[in-house]
Structure 1
Amino acid sequence: MCKPVDSPTATAETAADCELNYADLDRWSNRLARILLRLGAHPGAHIVIAETPQPEAAVSRLAIMKTGGIPVSLTTETAVDRADFGITTKAGRELVTDASRWLVLDDRSTLVHYLTGSDAPLTEAELNPAQQMAA
């Protein structure tokens, strides 16, 4: 992924069929971060990104970091053993043989949550719900 620049319209990621600017990357990752929070993402959570093409991998990495989680590439068998859950696609899920919880990005239910979710910046209440309940 390219280093952030001052212009939100500057290209952040490119793929054969997609060019993603920094503003889009930010909005897309906000939507995905909300899904990850509902799945239990939290500061320090290890979340594996497996067999996920660009720009989905870039969006996933940023979304994980926005939740305080730690993105982990699936490079060893032990990565999944230490993970809280993982992110992949339908094609990638067929290649991953473990029984861990996986968020499948192109699954219909995931897409519905993603497309109907807010792309606004995450709030402190979303990131720290326990603190908000105690207040």
Structure 2
Amino acid sequence: MCKPFESPATTDDTTLNTAELDRWSNRVARMLLTLGARPGTRIAIAEVPRLEAMVCRAAIVKTGATPVPLTTETALARADYGITTKAGRDLITDPARWLVLDDRSTLLGYLTGSDAPLSEAEIDPARKAS
């Protein structure tokens, strides 16, 4: 599986090296797959801190889905799923299914999920693993 980013993710106060970014995004990708993300679906990222947004973008790419930039209301209408925070979810009124990063159930899923690389069978369950 190709890695969406080859360099570390950095904000003003935090840096994730490539391995950390990879492990974190693997966990988020598995949660997105559970939500229903698949190749061809569109996933928006809204009201997420910069570092988490980088991780989420990597996770979206790993699932085969397409990140949808949130620059207009029409972009939200084209999203099948979304990633946000509790504060961001209160601002979004569209009907897409959202992964709320700071929700207790999301945090529990993240903490108990695997950070191993995703398999082809996880990404495309209809395809048999070879």
- Give the TM-score, by structure 1 length: 0.86
Aligned partner (choices 60, 63, 68) of residue 59 of structure 2: 63
Match of 1:108 among 91, 97, 104: 104
Q: Report the equivalent of 1:121.
A: 117
The answer to whether the 8 Å contact 1:30/1:118 transfers is yes
Selected match of 1:4 from 3, 6, 12: 6
Provide the residue aligned with 1:54 in structure 2.
50
1:129 shift after superposition: 1.0
Match for residue 75 of structure 2 among 74, 79, 102: 79
Structure 2 partner of 1:8: none
CA distance in 2, matches of 1:13, 1:30: 15
RMSD: 1.7
Contact 1:13 1:54 survives alignment (8 Å) = no
- Deviation of the 1:109 alpha carbon: 0.1
**In 2, are the aligned partners of 1:88 and 1:104 still within 8 Å (CA)?**
yes
Long gaps (5+) in structure 1: 6-11
AA partner of residue 4 (structure 1): E
TM-score between both structures, scaled by the size of structure 2: 0.89
C-alpha distance in 1, partners of 2:105/2:12? 26
Identity of aligned residues (%): 65
Structure index of larger Rg: 1
Amino acid at match of 1:69: A
Structure 2 Cα separation of the partners of residues 131 and 44 of structure 1: 15
Q: Extract unaligned runs of 5+ from structure 2.
A: none
Separation (CA, whole Å) in 2 of partners of 1:128 and 1:99 = 25
Query: What SS does the corresponding residue of 2:64 show, helix, strand or coil?
Result: coil
Please list the CA deviations of residues 25-52 of structure 1 after superposition, one character each: whole Å capped at 9, or x if unmatched.
Answer: 0000000111111111111111000011
Matched, 1:15 2:46: no
